[in-house]
C-alpha cells in the first residue's frame, strides 16, 4: 500500500486543482479550486477552448456573470470525475461585503442547479473575514454549504464553528512560510518539521478544539509545502493536496501512522470560546501571521481574478 492509499484510510483526500484532466489517476473524493488555479488552467491549450465557449455563449452578460459561469463550468467538469464535492470561490474582492458575497454565492449555486448538479455537491468558498463568516452563516441557514478559506488563526476557526459553516480550510503551508520568514537565520528546518511545523500545529489545535466540543464543522488542511506536513496531519477530516504532492504520496510505499483522532481530543482540558465582532477583530489583530496572510491572500486572489477577467475580455 502506498502512502496515498494509506492516507485515504484515515482522511478524505481532496485534489487541489482546476486541472480536471489530472484528477482521475489519484481518485480523490472531492476537489477544490480558486482563482489562481483556474487562471493557471485556462492558459493551457487543453482548457482554453472551454473559456472561449463560455464567453461566446454569454457575451452579452457582465464580466462577473461570465466569471461565475466559467467557474461553474470548471466545477461541473470536475464533478464528472470526483464522486463528492467541488469548492468554488466567490470573488475575493467581495471579502468585506456580506451582501455582495451572498448575491454571488446564490448565483453560483443557481448556475450549478441549472446545470443539473445537486447543491449538496458544491461548497461555496469564502474568505474567513468577519463579513465572510456572517455571509456563510446565512448561506448555511439557506441550505447552501460553505468552505471558509484563507484561514490562519484559531479565532477564525472558532467563529466559523459558531456560524455553523460546513468546512474550513486552514492554510498549513502559508503559516509555515510566515514563521520561517519571521525566524530568518534562526529557523531550524529539522526542528520545525512534522508535528512541530507551525502550520501543522495550527491545524492540530483547531481539530482538537472542534472535536473536544462536538463542533460539526469539517477541518480540511490546505496549502501544503511538503509531504511531511501532509503525513503529520493524517486523520484530519479532509486534506486538500496539489497533484504533484498526490503523486509524491503515491510513489512512496511505506506505513503511514494516524496522527489526529477525535477520541484523543475528547478528554483534553480546553476552554470553550465565543467571539462577537469586536472580540474577533481584536483576536485576529493580535495574530500577526493571520493578519498579514489573510490580507496577502485576498490581494493575491483578487489580482488573479483581474488577470482572468483580462483574458476573458480579450476573447
Start-to-end Cα distance in the chain: 47
User: For residue 184, what is its C-alpha cell?
Assistant: 530568518
Of 27, 40, 44, 125, the catalytic one is 125
User: Dihedral of CA 194/195/196/201: which sign?
Assistant: positive
Residue 283's contacts (CB-CB under 8 Å, 6 or more residues apart) are: 153, 155, 275
Whole-number Å distance between alpha carbons of 289 and 92? 19
Whole-number Å distance between alpha carbons of 305 and 39? 8
Note whether 157 and 135 are within 8 A (CB). no
Q: Which residues does residue 16 pair with via DSSP β-bridges, in sequence order?
A: 32
Catalytic residue check, 125: yes
Note whether 107 and 122 are within 8 A (CB). no
**Ranges of H-type helices in 115-261:** 130-141, 154-163, 172-183, 198-212, 227-231, 243-250
Q: Could you give the C-alpha distances from 251 to 199, 232, 287, in angstroms and in order?
A: 24, 17, 37
Would you give the distance in Å from CA 126 to the centre of its chain?
A: 9
Which residues are catalytic, by number? 125
Amino acid at each position: 500500500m502506498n502512502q496515498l492509499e494509506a492516507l485515504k484510510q484515515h482522511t478524505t483526500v481532496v485534489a487541489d486543482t482546476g486541472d480536471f484532466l489530472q484528477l482521475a489517476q489519484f481518485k480523490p473524493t472531492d476537489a477544490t479550486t480558486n482563482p489562481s488555479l483556474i487562471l493557471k488552467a485556462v492558459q493551457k491549450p487543453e482548457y482554453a477552448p472551454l473559456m472561449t465557449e463560455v464567453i461566446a455563449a454569454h457575451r452579452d452578460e457582465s464580466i462577473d456573470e461570465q466569471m461565475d459561469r466559467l467557474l461553474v463550468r470548471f466545477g461541473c467538469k470536475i464533478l464528472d470525475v470526483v464522486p463528492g464535492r467541488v469548492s468554488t470561490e466567490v470573488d475575493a474582492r467581495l471579502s468585506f461585503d456580506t451582501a455582495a458575497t451572498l448575491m454571488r454565492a446564490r448565483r453560483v449555486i443557481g448556475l450549478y442547479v441549472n446545470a443539473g448538479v445537486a447543491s449538496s455537491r458544491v461548497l461555496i468558498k469564502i474568505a474567513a473575514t468577519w463579513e465572510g463568516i456572517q455571509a456563510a452563516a446565512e448561506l448555511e441557514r439557506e441550505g447552501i454549504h460553505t468552505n471558509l478559506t484563507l484561514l490562519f488563526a484559531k479565532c477564525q476557526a472558532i467563529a466559523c464553528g459558531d456560524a455553523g459553516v460546513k468546512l474550513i480550510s486552514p492554510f498549513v503551508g502559508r503559516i509555515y512560510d510566515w514563521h520561517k520568514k519571521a525566524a530568518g537565520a534562526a529557523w531550524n528546518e529539522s526542528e520545525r518539521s512534522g508535528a512541530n511545523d507551525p502550520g501543522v500545529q495550527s491545524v492540530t489545535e483547531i481539530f482538537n478544539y472542534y472535536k473536544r466540543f462536538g463542533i460539526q464543522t469539517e477541518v480540511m488542511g490546505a496549502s501544503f509545502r511538503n509531504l511531511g506536513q501532509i503525513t503529520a496531519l493524517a486523520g484530519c477530516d479532509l486534506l486538500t493536496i496539489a497533484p504533484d504532492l498526490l503523486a509524491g504520496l503515491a510513489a512512496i510505499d511505506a506505513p503511514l501512522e494516524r496522527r489526529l483522532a477525535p477520541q484523543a481530543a475528547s478528554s483534553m482540558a480546553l476552554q470553550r470560546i465565543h467571539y462577537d465582532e469586536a472580540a474577533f477583530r481584536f483576536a485576529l489583530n493580535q495574530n500577526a501571521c493571520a493578519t498579514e496572510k489573510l490580507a496577502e491572500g485576498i490581494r493575491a486572489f483578487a489580482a488573479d481574478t483581474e488577470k482572468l477577467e483580462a483574458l476573458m475580455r480579450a476573447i
